Structure 1
Amino acid sequence: MPDNDTVEPSFGGAAQLDNLSDKQKQQVETQTRPNAALIHETIRAEGVSELERAAWALAASGLAAGLSMGFSFITEGLLAHALPAGPARTILAPLGYTIGFLIVVLGRQQLFTENTLTPVLPLLHNRNGETLVKVLRLWAIVLVANLAGALAIAAILAHVPLFESGVYASLADLAGKTIQDGFGVTFARAVFAGWLIALMVWLLPAAEGARPTIIAVITYVIALAQFSHIIAGSVDCAYLAFAGMAGWDDFVLRFFLPTLLGNICGGVALVAALNYGQVAKEVENNK
């Protein structure tokens, strides 16, 4: 005989829930995936909290994130150096790119591309000037702090001999990819990167124990496809500039501007707006 407190499969529809005990109903709630509206509200609540944080706290967290992203560049370069040229290097070296993101996201550090979704949801919910100003304030503080950290770690890598010469050759090869394409192609690659990072943020509330896996898989795809990420790529491209292998005009015009615009478009338009759209009616009804 089955245990009375065990939920048995049933195909009789929602009405069957009326016959369940309170304990069984609780089991159903815990085993059901969170719906889009619940994910939206979870991220929006986090966004509201971020918008209210003090500037110094945002700046410190953003600086830490920029520095941490340097480990993506370092680890991918070390793997590229260690692996023989060929398919193995192409497939395995991008795993190193995930390290910085794992540190930043699991460590709750402020990363600009995450903020193309999290604080934008409160803006879509409220749609007023006050919230817009708060979003722009958050973006400005976090972007500047991220860049400061990224430039600092790039300068250290360019001027301090931490590794053997072969590793620096691999780092230069990786960094060169940030300015290998024109404005339009870099912008398109950045749209995909911003899209994937914002999707990652959308997936995390429901991921629970799988969060490291979600982060690693999404960012691995970004590296494998050579999509452009404004902070991770800033470490790479700034390394070229500090090492004298590219000019700062290359950094600004060929990498920074198209990547920044693409990341914002990918995060805001393709994830924040679309995912808000699917729950907008329900959210509006609950205002």
Structure 2
Amino acid sequence: MAYHTPQRIAELSIEAGKRKVSLPLPTLLTLGFLAGAFIALGFLLDIRVSGNVPGEWGSFAGFLGAAVFPLGLVLTIIAGGELLTGNMMAVTIARLAGQVSWGQLLRNWFWLTVSNFIGAVFIAFFFGHVLGLTSEGAFLQKTLAIVHAKLDESFFQSFVSGIGCNWLVGLAVWLSYAANDVAGKILAIWFPIMAFVALGFQHVVANMFVFPAAIFAGYAGWGDWLRNFIPVYLGNAVGGAVFVAVLYWLAYIRGVEREVAEE
């Protein structure tokens, strides 16, 4: 199974970031809606798989849910979608390389925040609430347990959890650029995404699904979502932009430029 070197992945990430900010707004919004919906579908599948698992199974129940959650990013990367958290890595490294402006970066992040939210809420309402996939029985209890656990974290804990999450999500996107074939991309995506879910880290777009699911069931409010949204968003931004984009830019782009300049 052929793959690209980290140096080449950095170059491909820059190219991807440049393409992403060049998308026409209607295309960006459409792909953003799809990515939000795909991540929500992955989370919904997680809840449906793990919601009825006996309590004595312990953490294995969490692993089962985490094992299917990567569907969301697989669909986003392979079928097509624009995900805020992935772009926090790709567009940032393109900015560091001087290929996009800060204005383009902020525009991209803003519209993806909006469109990812719409896609995630769409799934929460129509599939979670209308079909009852998250609003009844053990699956409602699972949904509420997830939301309550997130709300129990302090602002700083949610922020740090967001960093851990998007460090791994950014790496999943980064690794997907290493592969040229579908099987390689799926394998590259699966491990980091499974890991962040199993570890309980917080993903801002995934939370755009699970909080509304609880809200539509009548057990949470939009203020609860907003209180969680801010620290997780900031943490995800740091995780993807700093711990992936900046560090790999320093290692594989800036470092190489310095070596060339010194020759």
Q: Same fold (TM over 0.5)?
A: yes
- 1:226-262 CA-to-partner distances (Å, cap 9, x unmatched) read 1000101220112122222112111101x10010000
Matched pairs, number: 253
Residues 37 and 93 from structure 1, CA distance in 2 versus in 1: closer, same or farther, beyond 3 angstroms? closer
**1:242 and 2:212 are equivalent in the alignment:** no
Distance verdict in 2 for CA 1:281–1:80, change over 3 Å: closer
Query: For residues 69 and 231 of structure 1, what CA distance do their matches in structure 2 show?
Result: 7
Residue number in structure 1 paired with 2:94: 122
Given that 1:154 and 1:239 are in contact with CA atoms closer than 8 Å, whether structure 2 keeps it comes out as yes
| Structure 2 spans left out of the alignment, 5+ residues | none
The C-alpha deviation readout for 1:78-136, integer Å capped at 9, x for no partner, is 11233222233133222232222222222220000000111112211118xx7111111
Report the equivalent of 1:185.
157
Aligned to 1:108: 80
Cα distance in 2 between the residues matched to 1:257 and 1:234: 12
SS at the partner of 2:70?
Answer: helix
Q: Does 1:147 align with 2:117?
A: yes
Aligned to 2:167: 195
The answer to whether the aligner puts 1:44 opposite 2:14 as a matched pair is yes
Q: Does 2:210 align with 1:225?
A: no
Q: How many angstroms does 1:157 deviate by?
A: 4.3
Does the 8 Å contact 1:113/1:198 carry over to 2?
yes
Identical aligned residues as a percent:
23
Counterpart code for 2:197: A
Residue 35 of structure 1 and its aligned partner are, at CA, apart by 3.3
Deviating more after overlay: 202-211 vs 232-241: 202-211
Deviation per residue, 1:141-187 (Å, 9 max, x gap): 11110011112222224531434533332233233333221111111
AA in 1 matched with 2:234: L
Residues 256 and 145 of structure 1, relative CA distance in 2, 3 Å threshold = same
Change (3 A) 1:205 1:158: closer
Rg (Cα) greater in structure:
1
The runs of 5 or more residues in structure 1 that have no matched partner are: 1-29
Q: What is the rounded CA distance, in whole Å, between the counterparts of 1:134 and 1:91 in structure 2? A: 38
Cα-to-partner distance string for 1:191-239 (whole Å, 9 max, x where unaligned): 0011111111221222344211121111111111110001012201121
Instruction: Give yes or no for contact 1:120–1:268 (8 Å, CA) kept in 2.
Output: yes
From the superposition, tell whether residues 98 and 281 of structure 1 become closer, same or farther in structure 2 (CA, over 3 Å): closer
Distance across 1 between alignment mates of 2:243 and 2:129: 39
CA gap of 1:198–1:214, structure 2 versus 1, over 3 A, is: same
Change (3 A) 1:156 1:178: farther
Q: Deviations over 1:260-279 (max 9, x none)?
A: 00000011111111100012
Alignment of 1:1-287 (within 5 A): 34-85=4-55, 86-87=57-58, 88-126=60-98, 131-157=101-127, 159-163=129-133, 165-208=137-180, 209-253=183-227, 255-279=228-252, 280-283=254-257, 285=260
For 2:166 and 2:72, the matched residues in 1 are separated by: 16
